Amino acid sequence: MTFSITARCPRTGMFGVAVSTAVPAVGAICCFGGPGIGAIATQSWVNPYLGIDGVELLKQGLAAAEVVERLVGQDPGRDVRQLGVVDAQGRSAAYSGTQCTSWFGHMTGHGYSIQGNMLVGADTLQVMQERFTATEDAELPERLVSALEAGQAAGGDKRGRQSAAVKIWKSEQYPYLDLRVDEHAQPVLELRRVYEVARRQLLPFVEMMPTREDPIGGHDAEVERFILLSPEERALRS
């Protein structure tokens, strides 16, 4: 029912998940992770506890393959589940239950896992892998959104389109970026639009937010002046 990519950036240490499907609000139920530990996409006949429990296993230092083995072994609904995991070292693992809706499958490599079910065909995952590996000089949010775009262009979910999301963890417990298009005729296209706005108008502000080490947070006079503008004024200056 879904196509997604879970990944780690070796340069910045960011982790993230990007996902799209033909049901509403996919970002609310499929994206899990944390700073410095890894990220998980859980989908098909989704069990969010695979994400919740998987994050706890990653915190314990288990490798991606061990996390998948533990989660799948404890889930009586494993035959209709699908998940992809990337751990703190960039090791990846994925699982696709034998009763997932066709077409389904997954692809893994160092630093990423790509998975999908109820797809038009295997091309969706193949082009996502090609796009992701070809953009390694870009920031992780851009790479994930770009991979989703490639997957959608190759067919994506065979039922159609409805929602998309991208969620990124950097160094703090709160997400560095958490964008959702919960219901839209062209959700991946709309996610790109929202991401471009957030990249210019939100991320500079997030970079100034308080951290565990600095509870006051940074101050950049130019960013502060920009944030004080109305959305319309900011759009004109972006």
Q: At residue 123, does pLDDT exceed 90? A: yes
- Residue 136's pLDDT is 94
Q: What percent of the chain has pLDDT over 70?
A: 100
Helix (H) or strand (E) holding 38: strand 38-44
| Interval 200-224 mean pLDDT | 93
Dihedral sign computed on CA atoms, order 46, 12, 192, 177: positive
Report the CATH number of the 2-188 domain.
3.60.20.10
Indicate if the pLDDT at residue 238 is higher than 80: no
pLDDT in tens, 23-38: 999 999 999 999 999 9
Residues 6+ positions from 167 with CB-CB distance below 8 Å: 16, 17, 18, 27, 31, 33, 175, 177, 178, 179
pLDDT score of 1: 66
Q: Is the pLDDT of residue 83 over 80?
A: yes
State which H helix or E strand residue 193 sits in: helix 187-201
Find the radius of gyration of the CA atoms of the chain. Answer: 18
| Residue-level pLDDT at 181 | 98
- Would the pTM count as exceeding 0.85? yes
Average pLDDT over residues 165-175: 97
Please state, in angstroms and rounded to a whole number, the distance separating the CA atoms of residues 66 and 173. Answer: 24
Q: Where are the domains of the chain?
A: 2-188
Q: In the prediction, which pLDDT does 236 show? A: 87
